Chains A and B, each alone.
Chain A
Amino acid sequence: MKKTKIERFIRDNRENFDQFEVPAGLWDRIDKGLGNLDTFPGETSFVEKKNIIVFKQKYWVMAASLALLIGCFFVYNLGFKSQNTDKIIATVSPEYGDKMVQYASLIETKREEIRQIETEDPVLYKEFAKEIENLNKDYQNLKAELPQTPNQEELVKAMIQNLQVQLDILNRQLSIIQKIKDYQNNPTRSI
């Protein structure tokens, strides 16, 4: 369709059509709006805030010591437990034990590699990490069950399978990252 006179005129003078100036004070309103998003609704006075801070600080000390105590307890317990599960796996089959160590170290390296995109693309990284975290949770659940379960061999197999799936997903994530990088380096080429 051939452009008519008026269409050409508007196209050629496009910048001149932005004649309106933004009203002064609009940023202040946006700034205020953003501020409300950042903090809790309901203003507290400075004195009140100060009191709250002192009050909070006391609580923080208490909370921190409590957390430390609980932490120590868990580290002790977990260390004991994981030693325990390692032993069980070794008794079920030393071959499985070796495989698991190998997978675990591969997973660690690959996760480290993916962590490099955290600054470039935090959203994508979060998504990727969440996927693995979910599987890892399952893995930890299996591991916790191991000492009590009647069929330990089945459970160890399930654990290995879980690690394999983790590895598989990590490989796919890495290839996606590579594709994105390729694309960014050379956007004309289709993926």
Chain B
Amino acid sequence: MNPQPLALEQTHYIDKHLPLVEACRRGERKAQYEIYRLYSKAMFNVAVRIVNHVGEAEDVLQDAFLDAFQKIHDFRQTSTFGAWLKQIVINRALNHLRNRKVQLIDIEEAGEVPDEAAYDEEGIELNIQRVQNAIQQLPDGFRTVLCLYLLEGYDHEEIAEILGVAESTSRTQYIRAKKRLLEILKQ
């Protein structure tokens, strides 16, 4: 019956910005700005990673925030507000990619799945800037899955749902993306 401390912490986290969210529900502009101030940087980076273009990410973020404030009555507190908002940003960004007629899953290479053990990561120099640049050089489909998994913290089941593909597709796509990333880093 006794709630574990971890769970308590979690509810505390969920409730942290709840008064702000409530004020947004009433359409208070000041609260909306506060939410923007708190979340815009993280959300902007999510959008930049997916659309791979700063200017387009700005449009995506604008639409996503307008969307979120309009739909804020739908936010049911089943997740944190941040997670809910992130989902909107990702959906907007993916739609943006789809409008560019981007193939989110590479069909060509569908047959070949690289062996996970075949990586040779030795001798690869890792620093933030190099990895960031390498991610930006990935094809859109690879970059999307890799970022959703490694940076946004979704598992393959969730990614499969977001992209509307099978879980196994998300897995193989991720393995290929990681392989390509290492190849770029080796250059």
Contact = CB atoms under 8 A, between A and B. Distances in A.
B181 A187 contact: no
B119 interface: yes
A46 interface: no
Top 10 A-B pairs ranked by shortest CB distance?
A: A18-B45, A5-B121, A22-B44, A188-B7, A22-B40, A33-B66, A9-B126, A16-B128, A10-B150, A20-B48
A6 B121 contact: yes
A122 B25 contact: yes
Pick from B42, B66, B124 the residue with the most CB of A within 10 Å. B66
Interface residues of A, number: 34
Given A6-B181, A30-B65, A187 B3 contact: yes
A187 B11 contact: yes
Interface of B: 1, 3-4, 7, 10-11, 25, 27, 29, 32-33, 36, 40-42, 44-45, 48, 54, 57-58, 61-62, 65-66, 69-70, 73, 116, 119, 121, 124, 126, 128, 131-132, 150-151, 178, 181-182, 185
A157 interface: no
A61 B65 CA distance: 41
27 contacts: A1-B116, A5-B126, A6-B121, A10-B150, A11-B150, A13-B128, A14-B151, A16-B128, A17-B132, A18-B41, A19-B128, A20-B45, A21-B44, A22-B41, A22-B58, A23-B58, A26-B62, A27-B40, A29-B62, A30-B36, A30-B66, A31-B33, A33-B66, A34-B32, A187-B10, A188-B7, A189-B1
A7 B42 contact: no
Which of A5, A6, A13, A14 lies at the interface centre, i.e. has the most chain B CB atoms within 10 A of its CB? A6
Interface string A29-66: 11101100110000000000000000000000000000
A186 interface: yes
A123 B72 CA distance: 11
Contact of A6 (B33, B131, B151): B131
Contacts of B69: 34
Contact of A21 (B27, B33, B41): B41
A110 B89 CA distance: 41
A6 B128 contact: no
